[in-house]
Amino acid sequence: MAIVISDLRKEYKDTVAVNGLSLEIRDNEIFALLGVNGAGKTTTVKMLSCLAKPTSGDAEVMGYSVVNFPEKVKAVIDISMQETAIARNLTVEENLRLYAAIRGLGKAEASRRIDELSRSFGFGKVMNKKGKTLSGGWQRKLSIALALLSKPAVLFLDEPTLGLDVIARRELWNVISALKGTMTVVLTTHYMEEAEKLADRIGIMKDGELIAADTAENLKACTGSATFEDAFVALVSKGGARI
């Protein structure tokens, strides 16, 4: 298993953001965490990527506890956040070189990885453009490319296509699909179509709790729904019954 989550809980003052989350995510699987706003998806990703400490419970990422060995976890993961996290006044190439240096890649290795990513993401024309001059789609692509530089065992993508137009969204879907089988990807989204198209399995969160986790086909079958959107609505409006 790439990720084993055991009774994970996160409280912020009076709010329980994640409540008793237990889940296993397999090696090289694309797993989508789906839910409406405030369901606890981003908080879950923050705990798994050591950005937030769990109030209780634990999770192992590639065998390392996020509570006891966050440095070991950070060495095997990477993340692309909801908001684009790039250096705005640096060019695409400078962003990639900066992040390669931060991730400890040697010069030769960094150049090799940047060439590979430049080809697969099609950065050729924008390589010398500054981050702030890129369109939203290109900024998001760059953000994901940065996360892939160090070839992480686990990649977290938090709402990767939020706010993008349909063309940019489809292009990013192709990028994410290409990762299938090469690394474990945990993707948060509130787009049904995105989860259904990209993910091997989908976990549905509501009010901080995981109420279902299975393939899109099985979730449709067990709710007797014709579409995945209907299955999602049926599950979320059930009042938390777990599947």
Partner 1 sequence: MRSVKRILALAGRNVKEILRDPLSIIFMFALPVAMELMFYALFSSAAAQFAISLLAPGMAVFGQAFITLFIGILIATDRTSSFMIRLYTTELKSYEIILSYALAAIPAALIQGVAVYAAAAVLDISAITWHVIPALFAGIIPTVMFLSFGILFGSVCGEKSVGGVSSIIVTAQSMLSGMWFPPEGLSSGFLKVMDILPFKNASLVITSVFNGETSAESTLIPCLIVLGYSAVVFIISVFVYRRKMVQ
Find all residues with CB under 8 Å of 92, minimum gap 6, and list them. 123, 126, 127, 128, 129, 131, 134, 142
Q: How far is the CB of 104 from partner 1 (least distance, A)?
A: 5
Among the listed residues 22, 56, 68, 89, the single contact to partner 1 using CB under 8 A = 89
Kindly state whether residue 67 participates in binding partner 1, applying the rule CB under 8 A. no
Kindly state whether residue 98 participates in binding partner 1, applying the rule CB under 8 A. yes
Residue closer to partner 1 (CB basis): 106 or 240: 106
Task: Restricting to residues 105-134, name those near partner 1 by CB under 8 A.
Answer: 130
Q: How far is the CB of 102 from partner 1 (least distance, A)?
A: 5
CA neighbor of 211 nearest in space, from 185, 189, 186, 237: 237
Question: CA 169, CA 152: separation in Å to the nearest integer?
Answer: 23
Question: CA 217, CA 201: separation in Å to the nearest integer?
Answer: 9
Q: What is the DSSP pairing of strand 30-34 with strand 56-61?
A: unpaired
Among the listed residues 3, 23, 39, 79, the single contact to partner 1 using CB under 8 A = 79
SS3 166: helix
Residue closer to partner 1 (CB basis): 80 or 189: 80
Amino acid at 26: R
Kindly state whether residue 77 participates in binding partner 1, applying the rule CB under 8 A. yes
Residue numbers at the binding site for partner 1 (CB under 8 A): 49-51, 71, 74-75, 77-79, 81-90, 94, 98, 101-104, 130, 146
